[in-house]
Amino acid sequence: MSDEDVAFEAFGANLIHAGILPVEIRIKNDSENALDLRRAGWDLASSSNLRFERQTAMAAMNRLYKYYGVRTYSKRRRKELGQKFRDLGIDVSAPLSPSEQRRGLVFFAIPNSPDVHESILHLRLAVTNVGFLNRPERDLHFEFSLKASESR
C-alpha cells in the first residue's frame, strides 16, 4: 500500500506524513508443511542502508495520534481505529497451512533522515526466522526488493 489516497481512505489519515510506511505483504505457502510465522522478523532497509523499524499496529496508531496532536479522543473511536490497524495488519499468530494464502500490512516507522524521500523509492525487505511447524531446525530467510509507486 504505497498510494497515499488508499491509505487515507483506509485510516482516515495520511500515514506517510505521520511517518508510518504500510507495506502490503502477500504470502502463499507452496510447501507441504505449515509455516510458523510467529517468530518472523521483518527488516526493511533502503539501498543506502537506511533502516525502517517495524511497528506493531498499536504503535503505528499511537504514532498517528502523536503526529496529528490528538490528545483527547473517545474510547470508542480509539478502539475502532485500533481494530482497523489490527484487521489490516498481517496475521502472524497462526501457522500458514500448505496452499494457504494470507495478506495484510506490516507497518514501519519512517526514519528522520534528509535522504528518506529518495530512499523510500527503493527498499529491500528481509523476512527472517520463518520456520516449518514441528521442524525447528530449518529456518527460512526471504529477501525482496520493493519499488514504491510514485505519487500521481
Supply the CATH number for residue 94's domain: 2.60.40
On whether residue 9 sits in a domain, the answer given is: yes
pTM beyond cutoff 0.85? no
Residue 56, classed as helix, strand or coil, is coil
Q: Output the pLDDT for position 139.
A: 60
On whether residue 152 sits in a domain, the answer given is: no
107 touches 21 (CB < 8 A): yes
Lowest mean pLDDT among 28-37, 64-73, 123-132: 123-132
On whether residue 60 sits in a domain, the answer given is: yes
Rounded to whole angstroms, the Cα distance separating 111 from 133 reads 34
pLDDT, tens digit (0-9, with 9 covering 90-100), for 68-99: 898 777 889 889 999 999 999 999 999 999 99
Cell of 88: 489490516
Q: What are phi and psi of 137, to 5 degrees?
A: -75, -10
Whats the size of the chain, residue-wise?
152
Give strand ranges (E) for the chain.
Answer: 20-28, 35-36, 41-46, 51-55, 101-109, 122-132, 135-147
Rounded to whole angstroms, the Cα distance separating 12 from 145 reads 28
What is the extent of the structural domain holding 53? 4-147
* Packing angle, helices 4-11 and 75-88, rounded to 10: 130
